[in-house]
Amino acid sequence: MGGNSAATAMSFSDKVARLQERQRTLTGVLVSVRKPTMAALPGPAAGAGLAIALACNIRIAAESTIMLRQDCAHR
């Protein structure tokens, strides 16, 4: 009710592609910032959240933090 009809009409793969592009834009901005950037990782990190943290200059992680990249996972 009253939602954005263009966003509603997007296919799942289009929505995923849009989110991936937004994440790439954000990580690009973080990398280009002239001052140091920092990420706090209080728990598990994977996917876009991990990519954003990795784009920062400094990462502080709790002892319980687990970082998972699916393209590097052991099987």
In a domain, 8, yes or no: no
As a whole number, the mean pLDDT across the chain is: 85
In a domain, 47, yes or no: yes
Q: Which domain holds residue 66?
A: 36-75
In a domain, 69, yes or no: yes
38 or 72, greater pLDDT: 38
3 or 60, greater pLDDT: 60
> What's the confidence (pLDDT) of residue 11?
92
Domain count, the chain: 1
In a domain, 51, yes or no: yes
Q: At what angle do helices 47-55 and 12-32 cross, to 10 degrees?
A: 20
Residues 34-68 pLDDT 10s: 999 999 999 999 988 898 999 999 999 999 999 98
Helix (H) or strand (E) holding 16: helix 12-32
pTM over 0.85: no
Alpha-carbon dihedral 36, 42, 69, 47, rounded to 10 degrees = -80
Residue 74's pLDDT band (cuts 50, 70, 90): low
38 neighbors 60 (Cβ within 8 angstroms) = yes
